[in-house]
Each structure stands twice: as structure tokens, then as C-alpha cells.
A and B are shown apart, each in its own frame.
Chain A
Amino acid sequence: MANSPAVLEASATPVIEEVPSFNVTLFVRRYNPEDGREPYWQDFDVTVHGTDRVLDALHKIKWELDGSLTFRRSCAHGVCGSDAMRINGRNRLACKTLIKDLNINEPIYVEPIKGLEVEKDLVVDMNPFYQAYRDVQPFLIASDKPAKERLQSPEDRARFDDTTKCILCAACTTSCPVFWTDGQYFGPAAIVNAHRFIFDSRDEAAEVRIDILNDKEGVWRCRTTFNCTEACPRGIQVTKAIMEVKQAILRGRR
């Protein structure tokens, strides 16, 4: 091991504490469209470390116990937004949920996010979710074609800072009871990403997006339950953003 000189100076034998390990039971919601079975719960016992996340436990199951377990993940570090799932009844990212923070004396329940069609095990069809995102025109719309970057004051940038943090994981939209009813509602994530551009001083199409969200299935279906804010792994004030878009619609401009 290559210890840095500084560490050697401080103590001759650096002690690294052993990470404690413990056993947990995971109940995972399984579904295979090819075996004709209804979705069912399957339990797995795994030994995990205090530093492990639910994603690590799922890896352990997939790599050591049952290779057919299907779920999405990519970055494994809360950046890509692929592994939103319902863990103990709450939408979270499996890669950001430490197992030690859950009640490990009880089984941990892991199921797909709700309101989108399950394709297999924890994988859902994200297309309706992405369609609502596309429908709010989530890109900068400006008439000039500048040779340099568009400058913006720190205050103008701060106005929409919160909603730039979205990673499109769908935790918010699939925690919303209005979205669960018929899946027609645009959903929090689409509104968050509209907010990102509606309140951007460089953008010129705030009115267009305001008009899009003044739809029968737009912001007015929001009933302020705060499920989305609670679910967001990025800590975005989702309900507040929706409220600000409502106010922008009432004003008729950003």
C-alpha cells in the first residue's frame, strides 16, 4: 500500500476500522411478461455492509443469487436518474439509499415506480414520461444567433437554479396521485423542466410553455400534495416550482 508521507508521520500503523456487515431481507416485486404469471413478491437474504446502498444489494442478488433480476442503473452515483424505484413505499434512487438508514430489522420492499407500465421486474416504460417532457419544449428558444455566449446576471441565473438540477428520474411524477389516476397529467417533472426555461431570462418562449401547461392536463390538475417534493432525490422544491408556473399562467408571462 502506498501511504502518503503525511500519514506515516502521524501514526506508524494507520488503523482502518472494519466496516460492519449485517443480513437483510429484500422483498423484490418480480414480473416477467414471458412466463404468464401475475407480478409477485420474491424474498432474498443478503449480507451487506454498512456502506452499501439498496443498489448494491440488488447487484448482489443479480450477480450471486438470481441473474434474471432486471433493473436499470447506469452511473450508480445519483447522476443519471435511471434507478428510481419504490423502496419501502417511497420513491427513491436505489443508488442514493443507504441500507443502514432503512429499518434493517424488517424486510426491505423494492418495487417499480407506479403509474408507468411495468416491462419487467423493476423496469417500467418511461416513454409517456419522456413524452410529457418533450411536450413542454425543454430547450432554449431565442431568436438571435449570437457569436458568443449569452450573458446573464447571477440574480437572473439564481431565479431558476433549483429546477436546473433535475435528472429526469421520474421519482416525482410517479409519486403523484393525480398522475396515478389516468397518466394523462403532464406531471411534476415536465412542469419542473418547463419552469427551468420559463424563468430563464435568455429564453423567449415563456408564453409558449405557459400556454402548453394551461392545459386540461396541465398545472391545474396539481392538488398540492407535496409527494413530488418529498420524492425528489435532488432536493428540488417541486411543488413550489409548480406553484410558480401556476402564478406565471395567471400573470400571462414569466
Chain B
Amino acid sequence: MSVVIEQPKSPRSRKAANWEKYGWMYMRASGAILLILIFGHLYVNLFVGQGIKGIDFAFVAGKWANPFWKVWDGLMLWLALIHGTNGMRTIANDYAERPMVRKVLNYTLWIVCAALIILGTLVITTFDPCIDPNASTYLPGVCAVK
């Protein structure tokens, strides 16, 4: 009779479910999209037309009159901030050895990230090109004389 050895299948005691797989996928997906968004942004802002000299309030107001650029900038804001914060989380996890330091750093990172995303999104969605009383001088036709 042959000896029967049962399969040693007791699973490793997993600490907790985790999101690392999704974090890894997000870094790559957002990175690929950011490549287009960031270099498109730099090209349009710094090369096209008058180049860097063209950037002023009116330039931004002009861009944001078009929903296309609102979506572009909004996507860039969200993707880059979450990407950068998740990248910083990776680095914090590497360097912070004490669990408490790690926790404080990670909470700080995500709070700052959330604050910046909320502020940035507010600016893009509630942007008023005529907020300046003199706006009619450089945005005639868009802003009424006040």
C-alpha cells in the first residue's frame, strides 16, 4: 500500500485584503494618459502662438471658455494628483519604518491631495472670466463693462 500524504494546503495567514494590485494598475494607466495630457498641455501653453509670452489671465480664460480644455485640465488635475500622491505613498512606505510615522505621513498625503483636488475642481468648474472689474478691457464681447 502506498503512503498517502495529504496536501499541505493551509493558507498563509493573510493580514488583510489590499488594493496594491489596483494601485499598480492605476499608476500605469494614469501614467499613459498623463503622458498625452501633460505634453499636450505644455505644447499648447508654451509653443503654440506667442508661446510662453502669451500666458496671462485672458489666455487661461480663453482656454476655459471651451469645455474641451476644462475637461482636459480637470482630468490632468485628478489623475496627476492621485498618481503623485500614490507614488509618494509608495516612497513613504519604503522610508518610514515606524508604523505611526507611516500612518501620519500617509494620512497627511491623502488629506493634502483631497484638498488640492477639491480646490482645483472648484476653480475649473466655477471659473468666472469676468471676476476682474476691468475684464471688459481685455475680454471685450465676453465681459460687460462694469
Contact = CB atoms under 8 A, between A and B. Distances in A.
Contacts of B14: 215
A249 interface: yes
B21 A208 contact: no
Interface string A204-217: 01001001101110
Interface stretch (B4-12, B54-62, B137-145): B4-12
Given A135-B12, A182-B97, A216 B4 contact: no
Interface string A166-196: 0000000000001001100000000000000
A216 B15 contact: yes
B16 interface: yes
B107 interface: no
B20 A141 contact: no
A216 B24 contact: no
Interface string B10-28: 0110111010110111000
Nearest to B13: A135
Given A220-B21, A220-B23, A246-B24, A141 B95 contact: no
Contact of A249 (B21, B90, B93, B97): B21
Nearest to A143: B7
A250 B21 contact: yes
A216 B17 CA distance: 8
Contacts of B50: none
A81 interface: no
Given A145-B2, A181-B95, A216 B16 contact: yes
A248 to B, nearest CB: 12
A218 interface: yes
Contacts, number: 43
A181 B102 CA distance: 13
Contacts of B95: 181
A177 B18 CA distance: 22
B2 A218 contact: no
A246 B23 CA distance: 13
Contacts of A214: 18, 20-21
Nearest to A214: B21
Given A145-B4, A178-B94, A181-B95, A212 B20 contact: no
B7 to A, nearest CB: 6
Contacts of B11: 208, 211-212
Interface string B61-103: 0000000000000000000000000000010011101000000
Nearest to B95: A181
Interface string A138-150: 0101010100000
Between A208, A215, A218, A221, the greatest number of chain B beta carbons within 10 A of the residue's beta carbon is seen for A215
Contacts of B4: 145
B7 A141 contact: yes
Contacts of A212: 11-12
Contacts of B12: 135, 212
Given A181-B94, A212-B12, A218 B7 contact: no
24 contacts: A135-B12, A139-B8, A141-B7, A141-B9, A145-B2, A145-B4, A181-B97, A182-B97, A208-B9, A208-B11, A212-B11, A214-B21, A215-B15, A215-B18, A216-B15, A216-B16, A220-B21, A220-B23, A220-B24, A221-B20, A223-B90, A246-B24, A249-B21, A250-B25
Interface of B: 2, 4, 7-9, 11-12, 14-16, 18, 20-21, 23-25, 90, 93-95, 97
